Structure 1
Amino acid sequence: MLSPHLAKKIVSDVRRLINEDIIIVATNGIIIASTDTTRIGQFHEGAFLVFHEKKTRIITKEDENVLRGVKAGINLPIFFHGDVIGVIGITGDPKKVSPYGELLKKMTELLIQENYYIEQLQLEARTLETFVFEWLQAREWSPSFYERAQLFHIDLHVKRRVIIASLKETKQTISVDMWKYVQTVWSDARDVIVRWGNDRLLILQTDDDKERTIAKIKTMQRALLDKYDVTLHIGCGKMGDSKQAYHSYKQAERALHIAKQTGDIVFDEDLRLDMCLEDISLATKQELIKRTIAPLMNEQELLHTLRTFFANHLSLKQTAEALHIHINTLHYRLKKVQQYTNLNVRHIEHVVTLYLAIRFLDETTKK
């Protein structure tokens, strides 16, 4: 409970309030943290007596000659759940340091309680994440799996949709505190929310209503932006049987990949062309670029013209207006594209090929 690491942190925090030497002693009387690092590892008989007596002890100058490893000051027992788990000592004139004693003792106990709470949350988060990982991977559920589901109050008989929320900034992480806050904001006890790695949240949702789901996601996004200044990309799989949640998870990952490009909340069920493009390997995409628009790599004006042409749905008039050029200039540029690539924008198959090549180029450039 009172580890050397935690004791060192407590000494550091407490030292901000008082400019005296401070020690924290384990129940065996060994100093495990101190502002005077030379005392760490020494036996402190006064603290050892405090642990057994469970009450504060004043250490006088006379005690320095009687008790092992002590200096004048005050030693106070640290309580946690009714038990003494250590001793905090303040070195100095007992009359001067005694008024700080109870304050520092209470502060130390609060720090220990806070650390215990955080550890319990982290344990809960890891345990739940492990359970969900098994949920998504196992093809058959063991009796122990059903028992753990009951301990977590998880209904395995309802249909679920997997939602993956990913932090926009890769340097940010999902903290335990952030995870608990999302559970409060999401406010549906039937749904399972876990931290999924360092930068993702995974939600196993039970509500099949798409509009309500979008509303809840937007509420979560706003709440996290306001409280933690983080932005989430969202990908949603299809609703399905709990035993088939893995399929919804893969769909959510595919939707998330598109969401990172568009900035929208993406549902896999809404994907059409994107659904096919996601299954094309990077090597194939790069090969298509090489076979089509590679000769245009040094012709940025022509590449920009093509992008604008596709953005304006192949309308020559709208493209020329968007580029602020005469339509004859646009015809000239598209003719140059044909000369470089042997692909004619008047040919439907060629147009699709050029569109995919430009799209793959932009995708790989972003990566």
Structure 2
Amino acid sequence: MFLLDSQLAQQIADRTMEIIGNNINVMNQSGVIIGSGDKSRLSKTHDGALLALQRGETVEVTQSNSQSLKGVKPGINLILKISDKIIGVIGITGDPDEIRNYAKLVKMTAEMIVEQATLTERLQWDRRHREEFISSWISGEIQQSELLDWGKRLDIDTTAPRVAVIIRFRASEQPMSLRDIRRVVELLERPYRDNLVAVLSMNEILVLKPATFYQGEWNSHEESKRIDQLLIRLKQYDIIDIDIALGHYFIGEQAIPLSFQSAQLTLQAGLNSNNNKHLYDELRLPVLLSPLQNSWQAEQLCKAFKRLQCEDKNGQLVKTLKALFLYQHSLTECAESLFIHRNTLRYRIKKIKEITKLDPENLAGLLELYIGYQLKKTG
């Protein structure tokens, strides 16, 4: 049941006084004044309100009978109701004959303010419940039967195919304001897109969005285009210092937790780039290698590449190796991209082999160097 608090009561008093000019008192279910244009009357019991609450109807107080009531001035006291439930009383100070014509207008205005506040509170309550549900869902710790039941109560179809997207606001001297966070959330939810949105922190928002399919296959390309559209819309609000990471689409009971994890790792893998958009499909290898971070296996895989970095004083050999990765060991294209002769390229490859003890002209050697490079880059 809705309870009228002092903050809302004072809002009602202030807004209705703007309409009529007379003093307004707002009383709770106990007849205590909790909102008033006359601050000296706050927290005092109003006998006129008590009488209205007892009778369940409007009570008019004239100059003559006000003397017999405690804390009462001439005026009209009207019952406030929400869904046929009495929540308090609103009192208009003045001669009943002069204020009677607009008393109902004041009552209607007050009840509209309460209904609006009730709706806002309900929406906020629903959002908190939905965010709590989403947080539990992505953790993967909730039982499937409980997940289905909880989702049903919140009108969320947990069987619908979804993919995780993480939006992170970049660190800056001026942190993201609540207003900007709400604006981003509204862009994600309106018009209706069936997105499930949860604010994970002051710098991170999670979106579980409907997966897009093309000829029966999940289509990350279409998702990528939607992210581009969102970035354009955010730019119109001067929200540009952000990163958006699209995870992978999974099937099965752990689909959402896995998609969330893939989005987290995609975001982490893409943070060192100059891009705002980071896609799992484009960062697949570093994402899949990321669990190796801080392991002895990663240390061994990075060893050769680290040795090359230490020995390569002017960075030419590392640059050459990256070109070999990029052009998939095509010596002609690699040499052209570096603006060097093929013989110079072969000399550099020989030096790389001597330093790393791995042969970049051999698939296994080149692969180990590439994995070491990726692990070093994302570490």
Q: Is 2:244 the partner of 1:234? A: yes
Q: Tell me, what secondary structure is at the counterpart of 1:243?
A: coil
Q: Tell me, what secondary structure is at the counterpart of 1:185?
A: coil
Q: Tell me, what secondary structure is at the counterpart of 1:196?
A: strand
Q: Tell me, what secondary structure is at the counterpart of 2:73?
A: coil
Match of 1:341 in 2: none
Instruction: Please report how far the alpha carbon of residue 56 of structure 1 lies from its aligned counterpart in structure 2 after TM superposition.
Output: 3.6
1:182 aligns with one of 169, 179, 188: 188
Aligned length: 326
Q: Does structure 2 retain, via aligned residues, the 8 Å contact 1:158–1:242? A: no
Instruction: Please report how far the alpha carbon of residue 271 of structure 1 lies from its aligned counterpart in structure 2 after TM superposition.
Output: 0.9
Instruction: Please report how far the alpha carbon of residue 45 of structure 1 lies from its aligned counterpart in structure 2 after TM superposition.
Output: 1.6
Q: Is 2:251 the partner of 1:249? A: no
Instruction: Please report how far the alpha carbon of residue 177 of structure 1 lies from its aligned counterpart in structure 2 after TM superposition.
Output: 7.7
1:102 aligns with one of 101, 104, 129: 104
Q: Is 2:283 the partner of 1:271? A: yes
Separation in structure 2 between the aligned mates of residue 31 and residue 270 of structure 1, nearest angstrom: 63
Q: Does structure 1 retain, via aligned residues, the 8 Å contact 2:31–2:47? A: yes
The one-character-per-residue Cα deviations of 1:252-306 (angstroms, maximum 9, x if unpaired) are 112234555534321123115754579757xx9xxx9xx9999xxxxxxx99x99
Separation in structure 2 between the aligned mates of residue 260 and residue 109 of structure 1, nearest angstrom: 50
Q: Is 2:213 the partner of 1:210? A: no
Instruction: Please report how far the alpha carbon of residue 194 of structure 1 lies from its aligned counterpart in structure 2 after TM superposition.
Output: 3.1
Match of 2:330 in 1: none
Q: Does structure 1 retain, via aligned residues, the 8 Å contact 2:164–2:263? A: yes
Instruction: Give the gaps of 5 or more residues in structure 1.
Output: 295-301, 320-345
Separation in structure 2 between the aligned mates of residue 265 and residue 186 of structure 1, nearest angstrom: 23
Q: Does structure 1 retain, via aligned residues, the 8 Å contact 2:29–2:88? A: yes
Q: Tell me, what secondary structure is at the counterpart of 1:255?
A: helix
Match of 2:150 in 1: 148
Q: Is 2:115 the partner of 1:113? A: yes
Match of 1:85 in 2: 87
Instruction: Please report how far the alpha carbon of residue 148 of structure 1 lies from its aligned counterpart in structure 2 after TM superposition.
Output: 1.8
TM-score, length-normalised on structure 1? 0.68
2:132 aligns with one of 124, 130, 133: 130
- Alpha-carbon spacing, 1:139–1:43, altered in 2? closer, same or farther (3 Å): closer
Instruction: Please report how far the alpha carbon of residue 79 of structure 1 lies from its aligned counterpart in structure 2 after TM superposition.
Output: 2.4
Q: Tell me, what secondary structure is at the counterpart of 1:126?
A: helix
Q: Does structure 2 retain, via aligned residues, the 8 Å contact 1:234–1:259? A: no
Separation in structure 1 between the aligned mates of residue 144 and residue 159 of structure 2, nearest angstrom: 15
Q: Tell me, what secondary structure is at the counterpart of 1:89?
A: strand
The root-mean-square deviation of aligned C-alpha atoms, in Å, is 4.8
- Alpha-carbon spacing, 1:264–1:76, altered in 2? closer, same or farther (3 Å): same
Instruction: Please report how far the alpha carbon of residue 61 of structure 1 lies from its aligned counterpart in structure 2 after TM superposition.
Output: 1.9
Match of 1:197 in 2: 201
Instruction: Give the gaps of 5 or more residues in structure 2.
Output: 213-217, 325-333, 339-350, 357-368
Superposition map of 1:1-367 within 5 A: 1=2, 2-94=4-96, 97-98=99-100, 100-139=102-141, 141-157=143-159, 159-168=161-170, 170-173=175-178, 179=185, 182-185=188-191, 187-188=193-194, 192-198=196-202, 199-207=204-212, 208-223=218-233, 226=236, 230-231=239-240, 232-245=242-255, 246-257=257-268, 262-271=274-283, 274-275=286-287, 280=293
Q: Does structure 2 retain, via aligned residues, the 8 Å contact 1:24–1:86? A: yes
Instruction: Please report how far the alpha carbon of residue 239 of structure 1 lies from its aligned counterpart in structure 2 after TM superposition.
Output: 0.8
Instruction: Please report how far the alpha carbon of residue 77 of structure 1 lies from its aligned counterpart in structure 2 after TM superposition.
Output: 2.3
Separation in structure 1 between the aligned mates of residue 90 and residue 232 of structure 2, nearest angstrom: 44
Q: Does structure 2 retain, via aligned residues, the 8 Å contact 1:254–1:278? A: no
Instruction: Please report how far the alpha carbon of residue 318 of structure 1 lies from its aligned counterpart in structure 2 after TM superposition.
Output: 10
The one-character-per-residue Cα deviations of 1:198-241 (angstroms, maximum 9, x if unpaired) are 44132153332212212333444445555x65455311111112
Separation in structure 2 between the aligned mates of residue 186 and residue 313 of structure 1, nearest angstrom: 46
Instruction: Please report how far the alpha carbon of residue 111 of structure 1 lies from its aligned counterpart in structure 2 after TM superposition.
Output: 1.5
Separation in structure 2 between the aligned mates of residue 3 and residue 95 of structure 1, nearest angstrom: 30
Letter matched to residue 22 of structure 1: I
